[in-house]
């Protein structure tokens, strides 16, 4: 029996919506508030234990149906020659075990739709275009005033409000600020059919990879070294991305280059990261997902760690006699695992900027994946 009866989750993205599912399955009455009316973004990937977390949440089959499973023979993680397109390295080996499920890539709006549908089936109240205005944490719970003037009372407030979390700053005076990792990410959901040659390519300009999704889209993430964090204009993002495509004559990249038009939507963002020290909770308020541990995309595990947070939080709330006990256990199970992902991702970016031997990069990533293959 859950140690709490009610919870408010601020933020209805990956961590928040899946935490709603996990808590609802534990018997908690859950409200979710999310300012964005419609989910945005590109693609997400879930592998290893993170994919197993989707099974535990009860949404893996639907995510797999709407996404792209990484079945045997998939080459999306391979390293290819930028001129010939031939595979020069199969990429890091991800752990497997008897009963493991396929990794899966999924369009982010589709994933959040699946998660919200499941949450609402379990009785979660999801309110879009709404957030909190103020909250007061006392010895018995949290009193919340919402941006529409309504009020509520909850046993637990879950802050899933992202890397720039306001809740984090409110409950921890000495919380660190997000740090810049020295690289820029540009993502493009290219329209059209699948293209042979999935994998990663690199040139002196930067690197990119791609894989197709069932919605008639090809997901293309690109990474560039940039010592200064400054945000680029839309025109600058397009010029840099075009330069990268033009620097790689491999047949697959040339085909994708032909799909880039003046109307193509490119998402350019600096790689920022944060790792909040243990603990991530104070009183009746806990942080999960990017609010506590945002990272770069070098391991493709940011979304996976958010989903694992959600599952473990639900398990701890369900098993503990008190909220303090639940949150203490949550931290013991999550901190070192998430720290590994954040620190490894930051180091992988540094190795790229240092022009280190790619073998060093692969070895570091493979060791981390080996550890992450252990149960959460």
pLDDT-above-70 percentage for the chain: 99
**Number of CB atoms found within 10 A of residue 278's CB:** 15
For residue range 251-293, list pLDDT tens digits in order. Answer: 999 999 999 999 999 999 999 999 999 999 999 999 999 999 9
Angle made by CA atoms 213, 33, 37, in degrees to the nearest 5: 50
Both structure tokens of 10: 């601020």
The Cα–Cα gap between 147 and 132 comes to 5
Residue 152, φ and ψ in degrees, nearest 5: -155, 160
What's residue 93's pLDDT? 78
Residues 227-248: b if buried by 16+ CB within 10 A, e if exposed: eeeeebeeeebbebbeebbeeb
Average pLDDT score over residue span 55-64: 98
pLDDT value for 257? 97
Give the whole-angstrom CA distance, residue 121 versus residue 89.
Answer: 44
Q: Nearest 5°: CA angle at 225, between 293 and 203?
A: 125
pLDDT tens-digit readout, 104-119: 999 999 999 999 999 9
What would the pLDDT profile of 178-211 be if each residue is shown by its tens digit?
A: 999 999 999 999 999 999 999 999 999 999 999 9
* pLDDT surpassing 70 at residue 73: no
Q: Which CATH architecture has domain 6-177+273-372?
A: 3-Layer(bba) Sandwich (3.50)
Encode pLDDT of 305-326 as tens digits.
999 999 999 999 999 999 999 9
For 6-15, 84-93, 296-305, which range has the lowest pLDDT when averaged over its residues?
84-93
pLDDT of 230: 86
Q: Are strands 266-273 and 179-191 parallel, antiparallel or unpaired?
A: antiparallel
Start-to-end CA distance of the chain, whole Å, equals: 21
Tell me how crowded residue 327 is: count the other CB atoms within 10 A of its CB.
24
Please, which residues have CB within 8 angstroms of residue 140's CB and are 6 or more apart in sequence?
Answer: none
Per-residue pLDDT tens digits for 204-244: 999 999 999 998 999 999 999 999 998 899 999 999 999 99
The CATH class for the domain spanning 182-271 reads alpha beta
- Domain spans in the chain, listed from the N-terminal domain onward: 6-177+273-372, 182-271
Query: Distance (Å, rounded) from C-alpha 206 to C-alpha 342?
Result: 22
């Amino acid at each position: 029996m859950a140690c709490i009866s009610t919870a408010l989750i601020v933020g209805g993205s990956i961590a928040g919506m899946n935490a709603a599912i996990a808590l609802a399955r534990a018997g908690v009455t859950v409200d979710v508030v999310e300012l964005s009316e419609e989910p945005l973004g590109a693609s997400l990937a879930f592998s290893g234990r993170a994919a197993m977390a989707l099974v535990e949440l009860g949404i893996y089959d639907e995510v797999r149906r709407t996404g792209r499973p990484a079945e045997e023979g998939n080459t999306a993680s391979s390293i290819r020659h930028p001129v010939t397109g031939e595979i020069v390295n199969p990429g890091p080996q991800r752990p497997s075990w008897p009963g493991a499920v396929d990794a899966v890539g999924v369009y982010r709006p589709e994933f959040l739709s699946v998660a919200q549908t499941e949450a609402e089936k379990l009785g979660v109240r999801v309110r879009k275009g709404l957030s909190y205005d103020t909250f007061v944490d006392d010895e018995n719970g949290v009193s919340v005033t919402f941006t529409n003037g309504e009020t509520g009372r909850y046993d637990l407030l879950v802050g899933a409000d992202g890397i720039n979390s306001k809740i984090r700053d409110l409950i921890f005076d000495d919380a660190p600020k997000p740090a810049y990792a020295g690289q820029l990410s540009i993502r493009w959901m290219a329209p059209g059919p699948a293209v042979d040659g999935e994998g990663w390519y690199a040139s002196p300009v930067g690197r990119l990879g791609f894989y197709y999704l069932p919605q008639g889209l090809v997901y293309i993430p690109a990474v560039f070294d940039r010592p200064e964090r400054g945000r680029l204009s839309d025109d600058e993002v397009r010029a840099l991305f075009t330069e990268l495509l033009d620097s790689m004559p491999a047949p697959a990249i040339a085909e994708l280059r032909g799909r880039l038009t003046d109307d193509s939507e490119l998402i350019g963002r600096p790689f920022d990261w944060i790792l909040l020290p243990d603990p991530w909770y104070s009183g009746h308020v806990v942080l999960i997902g990017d609010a506590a541990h945002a990272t770069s995309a070098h391991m493709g595990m940011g979304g996976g760690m958010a989903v694992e947070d959600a599952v473990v939080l639900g398990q701890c709330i369900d098993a503990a006699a008190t909220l303090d006990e639940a949150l203490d256990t949550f931290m013991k199970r999550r901190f070192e695992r998430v720290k590994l992902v954040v620190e490894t991702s930051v180091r992988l970016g540094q190795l790229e900027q240092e022009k280190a031997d790619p073998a060093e990069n692969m070895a570091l990533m493979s060791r981390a994946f080996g550890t992450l293959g252990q149960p959460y």
